[in-house]
Amino acid sequence: MKVIIVGGVAGGASCAARLRRLDEKAEILMVERGPYVSYANCGLPYHVSGVIEKESSLLVSNEATFREQFAIDVRTNCEVVGISAAKKTVELKDHKTGKVTTESYDKLVLSPGAAPIRPNIPGFDLPGIFTLRTVPDTRAIRAWLARNDLPGMDTYGGYQTATKAKRAVVIGGGFIGLEMVENLVHLGLEVTLIEKMNQVMPPLDPEIALLVKRRIEEHKVRVELNDGVAGFKQAANGSLEVLTESGKVHPADIVISAIGVRPEIDLAKMAGIEIGERGGIRVDEQMRTSNPDIFAVGDAVEVKDFVTGQWSLIPLAGPANRQGRIAADVIAGRKSRFRGTQGTSICLVFGAAVASTGVSEKQLIKIGDKDYEKIYLFPNSHAGYYPGAKMLAIKVLFRKSNGRLLGAQVLGDDGVKARVDSIAMAIQLGGTVYDLEESELSYAPPFGSAKDPVNFAGMMAANVLRGDMPVAHWDSVGNAFLLDVRNPPELAVEHVAGAVNIPLPELRARLGELPRDREILVICRSAQRAYYATRILLQNGFKVRNISGGMLSRSMLAAK
Amino acid sequence: MKVIIVGGVAGGASCAARLRRLDEKAEILMVERGPYVSYANCGLPYHVSGVIEKESSLLVSNEATFREQFAIDVRTNCEVVGISAAKKTVELKDHKTGKVTTESYDKLVLSPGAAPIRPNIPGFDLPGIFTLRTVPDTRAIRAWLARNDLPGMDTYGGYQTATKAKRAVVIGGGFIGLEMVENLVHLGLEVTLIEKMNQVMPPLDPEIALLVKRRIEEHKVRVELNDGVAGFKQAANGSLEVLTESGKVHPADIVISAIGVRPEIDLAKMAGIEIGERGGIRVDEQMRTSNPDIFAVGDAVEVKDFVTGQWSLIPLAGPANRQGRIAADVIAGRKSRFRGTQGTSICLVFGAAVASTGVSEKQLIKIGDKDYEKIYLFPNSHAGYYPGAKMLAIKVLFRKSNGRLLGAQVLGDDGVKARVDSIAMAIQLGGTVYDLEESELSYAPPFGSAKDPVNFAGMMAANVLRGDMPVAHWDSVGNAFLLDVRNPPELAVEHVAGAVNIPLPELRARLGELPRDREILVICRSAQRAYYATRILLQNGFKVRNISGGMLSRSMLAAK
């Protein structure tokens, strides 16, 4: 059996190595258009700033290792320029020699990835405007940053992190955009982030993304939302000008365009295989394309969203690696299948982390799914009495009808991964909010709380579903009666216009002051005391709901 | 309905607050023998050293809050001195007045906790020997540490952390013992830890506990295993001498005895309710004792081990809190049930963390369960190319017959909680190693790897169960043929006597050098290359197994 694997990074490299482990006899040829195989593309932004000091650190494996350890024929700088699905052949162009050869295959695996979108905007090809996908891209950005017109400083100095560039514009507030913002700030640049949407970090809901934006802004980054780039110009002094749709002009010594990626489907088109509704290669759960001898994996394919069952484009390294393994399994005659993607992700944001798993509320709204409820909570990352506890912001989405977990978003300075991973695992296994309520997670004061934030989330959501804590949200307060149960000194700091204040300890004695003919919405700082008040009022016959997240979630309102 | 709750910390306090939320009308009386309710007993060791600076930080709630927010009658310094289950009354002694009163109940909840074991050893009552359970205990230890005979320094100075004590002996290497060791080192004391068993941290298997011991020893702590304390003496200079069973004498200015806890069952005996086989109060899954009007929660009760189904004593704060909630639910007429305890725990060890969930191998051995396999792995806490990656040590136990997860132990400087919590969640939901293999956990280079350590664990275990990677362990090498596939420079550092070296890249060409009539066990540093070698050899007809964890797990052999 001869297998040709096109693309030697995440999915392709995983597939090749796995296939060799399963089949010593298979002839395996892995071709990669670029100069490197199996490099750490997730690390590229951090090499731009020198946080990852050496370029060689990014080269996780190499041709020699694939040859020697796996007996895999690897060809870099080698591009597929033709595929005949009928003859089961590919034409390979060696970019070093220019020579084109034809290779036959029994099975073909496409792992071409997704390419940065290059918008059709005037001036996009000007020098100083970059996208980031490969090691050579990183090298070019570093060289540009080190470039200057002073005599004797015109060469790029190895692992130097100093830069003569002063102002950077990053276009696009997704993962790569945010990582580039942070690394450019790290280099000392003044950074402007321009994002066409009303939020950064598209997988998040806008109110959580607002918290991310605030974090970024704390580091003096100018964030321009709701504005697209209209064009680029070279200014008189040689620097760039970024012109936006709203008419603004942002001067820049360097521009990073990170407005998203698009599946590379040229090869798939050549092979005549099916492209899906989202523009990616369509595969079944065994990573087989519409042609049974052609498989596809990684950022180029559409995957089923694990929670919604919808076709999605989710370019993440974890799923790409698993898909590569699964394609190898299937080629080797096994029955492995891909379970779909939860979109679990995490991103460093100036020392904090923001993470999500499962669906967002905006996705649910988009698909018209109304069988969900949400809660917000702001627990400490670990026991409040142990030094260093930091507030987490957590949003959890769950099925109203049965409590099944749908998604979670977590932001904070500490302990974010533990919480999102626990919930990701619960989602994968079909868990409910009741499972979170009863889950037994590790606790000692430096690491968590006896009731972990994940337990708290489960308890709150379960309280909602059991009817113990009817819940309301700031975006649908209407003209309900607002009851604030905080203590007067807290109100002095910030209060809600029109809310009546009865501190919780006085509530039982002052029930007569509350209306019986109107719905009461209860407020406190974090919604905990408001929950206690809700219980008191419910049992005394009032119609009442607790505003999830209290004053803390109110601060996210501006995102709406 | 009148409910009396005995014990105002974790389980009792949770029960009281939850019950009030569910039932505004219930009369709730919570009595606590000590001076404080709802204090942070998990934080006590950290207050000894001043890491938690203020004693007041430990007082999470207080009587006034319970009265005002929850309308709960709280009595501190109030001890139950009699229970009549027939009359449904308790006799309460107020330690401030000495007065004894009788209170009737409809439902009684016992949450008396577990008391430090006070061994019957000569000299245990000498001044300077302490156990640690309560805020007053902590205060006494701090006062003793600050005590000295210099004029003008004989009062305890508030939040002072300086100490005149120079040498401490901690007896018992469990959670509290290790936390006290660390905090005493933090205060600058020379610390000796004496442990009667052959390991520290009883929930761990000995080989993982050995890694913990090494961590402690790196901080100049003397760890004396396999030695019990025979007695205590006051030396001529006034300091203490700890005499051990092996005949050693350890001088000490302070001794902390932390050899374990024993359920407080005096009240249960008074009430005539059933005591279980492990010496704790026997309850059903609704926390009901053998008397349907008496409930018990927290460290005093026996719980079902979630994995083995065996009755166990697992004194942990998380389960105690959940049990308190469940007792309240049931008293309020709900159907909640306790799912059992996984024993999930974590402990800070000089900046590192050690955590476990589910069963240990030694528990499985003890109950004669042979349907299990184990793997060891030593992955990076996050992508190796991103700065600060640290090696984790992970052991995972799983069912040989169906892949169900049984337990995990994790040690490392970073990312321990995330991994043990993900696995704890998987265990809770009946997950298998195949679920770990396919799980989608959050990844970015500063936080994890595209294949998270949890995925790696799943892949390795699944490889074992699918027969792709027959596994061996250092403790059962016998006289198999040992093949080391590392490169010669690695062998120069450390090698295994008698092992034949064929570096992995040469293996395919040198198969003729290997025996076909003997089992081959393959070694490398971490068992990854050995896995590749195992695949090559298996497919070439050899009988072969991979030694799990490679040279890295060999270093734990000394524990056996």
Q: How confident is the model at residue B479 (pLDDT cuts 50, 70, 90)?
A: confident
Chain A positions in Cβ-Cβ contact with residue B318 (cut-off 8 Å):
440-441, 443, 450-452, 455
| Band of pLDDT at residue A403, cut at 50, 70 and 90 | very high
Contact A247, A228 (CB under 8 A): no
Distance from CA of A129 to the nearest CA of B (A): 25
Q: What is the pLDDT of residues B304-323, one digit of tens each?
A: 999 999 999 999 999 999 99
Which of A58, A176, A411, A417 is most worth mutating to test chain B (most B CB atoms within 10 A of its CB)?
A417
| DSSP label of B76 | S
Rounded CA-CA distance B398/B357 in Å is 12
Q: What is the pTM of this model?
A: 0.96
Interchain pair B422, A425: CB under 8 A: yes
Of A301, A333, A296, nearest in space to A314 by CA? A301
Closest by Cα among A441, A421, A390, A444 to B353: A444
pLDDT digits (tens, 9 = 90+) for B52-95: 999 999 998 899 999 999 999 999 999 999 999 999 999 999 99
Q: Could you give the percent of chain A with pLDDT greater than 70? A: 97
B421 interface with A at CB cutoff 8 Å: yes
Of the candidates B175, B348, B425, which has its C-beta nearest A439's C-beta? Answer: B425
Q: B65: left (phi > 0), else alpha (psi -120 to 50), else beta?
A: alpha
- CA–CA separation, A372 and A364 (whole Å): 8
Residue B121 scores a pLDDT above 70:
yes
How high is the pLDDT of residue A148? 57
Give contacts of B 530-549 with A, CB under 8 A: 531-532, 535-536, 539-540
Residue A161 scores a pLDDT above 90:
no
Residues of B in contact with A540 (CB under 8 A): 24
pLDDT bucket at A233, cuts 50 / 70 / 90: very high
Residue B148's pLDDT is 57
B chain contacts of residue A458, beta-carbon cutoff 8 Å:
none
CB B376 within 8 A of CB B461: no
Which among B316, B424, B444 has the least Cβ separation from residue A348? B444
Task: Assess whether pLDDT exceeds 90 at residue A479.
Answer: no
Q: Do A445 and B306 touch (CB under 8 A)?
A: no
Residues 426-465 of B with CB under 8 A from A: 426, 428-431, 435, 438-448, 450-452, 454-455
User: Per-residue pLDDT tens for A94-128?
Assistant: 999 999 999 999 999 999 999 999 999 999 999 99
In chain B, which residues have their Cβ closer than 8 Å to the Cβ of A204?
Answer: none
Out of B68, B387, B429, closest to residue A429 by CB: B429
Which of A319, A441, A445 minimises the CB distance to B424?
A: A441
| Segment holding A408, helix H or strand E | strand A405-412
Chain B, 235 to 274: residues with Cβ < 8 Å from chain A are none
Residue A236's pLDDT is 81
Region B387-414 average pLDDT = 98
Q: Do B442 and A320 touch (CB under 8 A)?
A: no
Whether B24 sits inside 8 A of A539 (CB atoms) is yes
Joined together, the tokens standing for residue B457 give: 């664990």
pLDDT at A556: 86
Contact A447 B70 (CB under 8 A): no
Measured from the Cβ of residue A28, the count of other Cβ atoms closer than 10 Å reads 25
Reply yes or no on whether the pLDDT at A412 is more than 80.
yes
pLDDT at B198: 96
Cβ <8 Å between B447 and A529: no
Chain B contact for A120, CB < 8 A? no
Query: Which of A19, A42, A425, A469 should one mutate to test binding to chain B, selecting the residue with the greatest count of B CBs within 10 A?
Result: A425
| pLDDT at residue number A273 | 98
B431 → chain A, closest CA residue: A429
Distance from CA of A15 to the nearest CA of B (A): 14
Task: Indicate if the pLDDT at residue B151 is higher than 80.
Answer: no
Q: Do B450 and A357 touch (CB under 8 A)?
A: no
- Residue B556 pLDDT > 90, yes or no? no
Whether this model's ipTM surpasses 0.90 comes out as yes
Is B42 in contact with A445 (Cβ distance < 8 A)? yes
DSSP secondary structure string for all residues of A493-513: H---TTPEE--HHHHGGGGGG
Interface of A with B in 40-69 (CB under 8 A): 40, 42-43, 46, 51-53, 57-58, 60, 68-69
Q: Where are the beta strands (DSSP E) in A129-172?
A: 129-130, 167-171
Instruction: Report how far residue B219's alpha carbon sits from residue B183's, in angstroms, rounded to the nearest whole number.
Output: 12
SS3 content of chain B, % helix, strand, coil (to 5): 30, 25, 45
pLDDT score for B157:
40
Quote the minimal CA–CA distance from B503 to chain A in Å. Answer: 10
Over the stretch A333-364, which tens digit does the pLDDT of each residue have? 999 999 999 999 999 999 999 999 999 999 99
Nearest by CB to residue A344, choosing from B319, B417, B442, is B442
The residue to which tokens 């701090």 are assigned: B142
User: What percentage of residues in chain B have a pLDDT greater than 90?
Assistant: 93
**Spatial CA neighbour of B408 closest among B23, A453, B419:** B419
Q: Which residues of chain A lie closer than 8 angstroms to B430, CB-CB?
A: 429
Position B559 confidence tier, pLDDT thresholds 50, 70, 90: low
Say if the Cβ atoms of A441 and B344 lie within 8 Å: yes
